[in-house]
Amino acid sequence: MNVPGQMLGFLAAIHDIGKFSRSFQAKDMTHWPQAALGPRPKAVPSGARHDALGLHLLRKPLARLLDTALPPLQDGRPAWIDGLRAPLLRAVAGHHGRPPAMPPAPPTTAELCPACIDAASDFLGAMHALFGSPVLPCPKEDRDVARLGWHLAGLVTLADWVGSRQAWFPYAAAVDDPAAYLWDHALPRAAAALAAAGLAPAAPSRFAGIGGLFPAIVQPSPVQLWAQNVDLPEGPILAVIEDMTGSGKTEAAVTLAHRLLAAHRASGVFLALPTMATANAMFGRLTEAYRGLFAAEARPSLALAHARAALDPRFATAIPAEPGPTGRRPADPADEPSEAHCAAWLAEDRRRALLAQIGVGTVDQAMLAVLPVRHAALRLQGLAGKVLVIDEVHAFDAYMQREILTLLEFHAALGGSVVLLSATLPKALRQRLVNAFRKGLGARTLPLARNDYPLATLAGAADVSEHPCAPRDGLPRRVEVTRLQDAEAALARIVEAARTGAAVAWVRNTVDDAIAAAQALRAMGIPALLFHARFAMVDRLAIEAEVMRRFGRDGDARTRPGVLVATQVVEQSLDLDFDLLVTDLAPVDLLIQRAGRLWRHARGPRPVPGPELLVVSPEPVEAPAADWIKAAQPGTGAVYSDPALLWRSARAVFSRGAIVTPDDMRPLIEAAFDRDAPGAVPPALAAAARQAEGRDRAAQGVARMNLLEFDACWDRDAGFWEPETHTPTRLEDRPTVTLRLARLRDGAVVPYAQDSDLGRAWALSEVTVARHRIATCPAPPGLEAAADAAKQSWGRWERESDRVVLALMTETAPGFQLRFLSGSGEATMADYDTSAGLRWPSSATSDGATPITSG
Give 496-561 as a DSSP string: HHHTTT-EEEEE-SSHHHHHHHHHHHHHTT---EEE-S-S-HHHHHHHHHHHHHHHBTT--TTT--
Decide if pLDDT at 629 tops 70: yes
Asked if residue 846 has pLDDT above 50, the reply is no
The C-alpha atoms of residue 209 and residue 213 are separated, in whole angstroms, by 7
pLDDT of the residue at 323 = 41
- Segment 340-379, tens digit of pLDDT: 444 444 444 455 667 788 888 888 889 989 999 888 898 8
Mean pLDDT, residues 721-741: 74
pLDDT tens digit sequence for 218-269: 999 999 999 999 999 999 999 999 999 889 999 999 999 999 999 999 999 9
Please state, as a whole number, how many other Cβ atoms lie within 10 Å of the Cβ of residue 118: 13
- Whether the pLDDT of residue 104 is over 80: the answer is yes
Confidence of residue 847 (pLDDT cuts 50, 70, 90): very low
Run of H or E including 340: helix 338-347
SS3 content of the chain, % helix, strand, coil (to 5): 40, 15, 45
In this structure, are residues 707 and 699 in contact, taking their beta carbons and an 8 Å threshold?
no
What is the reported pLDDT for 276?
74
Whether residue 320 has pLDDT greater than 80 = no
DSSP collapsed to 3 states, 137-154:
CCCCCHHHHHHHHHHHHH
Average pLDDT over residues 803-818: 92
Q: For residues 417-428, give the mean pLDDT.
A: 94
> What's the pLDDT tens digit per position in 291-309?
889 998 888 877 776 666 5
Residue 118 confidence (pLDDT) above 60: yes
Q: Residue 119: what pLDDT?
A: 96
**How far is Cα 320 from Cα 308, in angstroms, rounded to an integer?**
18
Domains in the chain and their CATH numbers? 5-189 (1.10.3210.30), 220-468 (3.40.50.300), 477-661 (3.40.50.300), 732-844 (no CATH)
Mapping DSSP to helix (H, G, I), strand (E, B) and coil, where does residue 692 land?
Answer: helix
Q: Which helix (H) or strand (E) is 361 found in, with range?
A: strand 358-362
The predicted pLDDT at position 84 comes to 65
Inform me whether the pLDDT recorded for 125 exceeds 70.
yes
Q: What average pLDDT does this structure show over 3-26?
A: 93
Position 360 scores a pLDDT of 84
Alpha helix (H) residue ranges in 601-712: 634-639, 643-656, 665-673, 686-706
* SS3 per-residue string spanning 377-433: HHHHHHHHCEEEEECCCCCCCHHHHHHHHHHHHHHHHCCCEEEEEECCCCHHHHHHH
Question: Quick one: pLDDT at residue 751?
Answer: 97
**Predicted local distance difference test score (pLDDT) of residue 56:** 94
Q: What is the pLDDT of residue 190?
A: 93
pLDDT of residue 330: 43
Q: Are 245 and 471 in contact (CB under 8 A)?
A: no
The per-residue pLDDT for range 735-758, each reduced to its tens digit, is 889 999 999 999 999 999 999 989
pLDDT of 575 > 90? The answer is: no
What is the pLDDT of the chain when averaged over all its residues?
Answer: 87
Measured distance CA(157)–CA(164) in Å, rounded: 11
Q: How confident is the model at residue 726, as a pLDDT? A: 54
Residue type, 635: G
Contact between 354 and 270 (Cβ < 8 Å): yes
Q: Which of 84-98, 412-426, 518-532, 644-658 has the lowest mean pLDDT?
A: 84-98
pLDDT at 273 over 90: no
Its pTM stands at 0.86
Measured in whole angstroms, the distance separating CA 528 from the mean position of its chain's CA atoms is 32
- CA 580 to CA 141: how far, in whole Å? 58
Give the percent of the chain with pLDDT over 70. Answer: 89
- Secondary element (H or E) of residue 661: strand 658-661
pLDDT tens track for 61-74: 998 898 888 876 55
- pLDDT tens digits along 197-210: 778 888 999 999 99
Higher pLDDT: 173 or 404? It is 404
Q: Sorting pLDDT into bands at 50, 70 and 90, what band is 314? A: low
Give the whole-angstrom CA distance, residue 44 versus residue 470.
Answer: 73
Residues 462-481 as b/e (b if ≥16 CB within 10 A, e otherwise) read eebebbebebbeebebebeb
On whether the CB atoms of residues 22 and 146 are closer than 8 A, the answer is no
Instruction: Specify the range with the lowest mean pLDDT, choosing from 200-214, 246-260, 313-327, 791-805.
Output: 313-327
Mean pLDDT of 579-586: 98
Summarised one tens digit per residue, pLDDT across range 494-510 is 999 999 999 999 999 99
Q: Which of 592-601, 641-650, 840-849 has the lowest mean pLDDT?
A: 840-849
Section 399-408 average pLDDT: 95
Positive/negative CA dihedral, 633, 638, 643, 645: negative
Q: Which of 40-44, 387-391, 711-715 is predicted most confidently? A: 387-391
**Short-list 1, 466, 435, 458, CA closest to 234:** 458
> Under a CB-based contact definition with an 8 Å cutoff, are residues 38 and 53 in contact?
no
Give residue 536's pLDDT: 96
If one counts every other C-beta atom within 10 angstroms of the C-beta of residue 148, the result is 23
For the cut 80, the answer to whether the pLDDT of residue 324 exceeds it is: no
The answer to whether 273 touches 361, Cβ cutoff 8 Å, is yes
Contact criterion met (CB below 8 Å) for 549 and 555? yes
HSE on the CB side for 409, CA within 13 Å? 21
- Specify the pLDDT at position 329: 41
User: Which residues, other chains included, contact 667 with Cβ-Cβ below 8 Å and sequence gap of 6+?
Assistant: 652
Q: Is 38 left (phi over 0), alpha (psi -120 to 50) or beta?
A: left
The share of the chain scoring above pLDDT 90, in percent, equals 59
Given a cut of 60, is residue 166 above it in pLDDT?
Answer: yes
pLDDT given for residue 326 in this prediction: 38
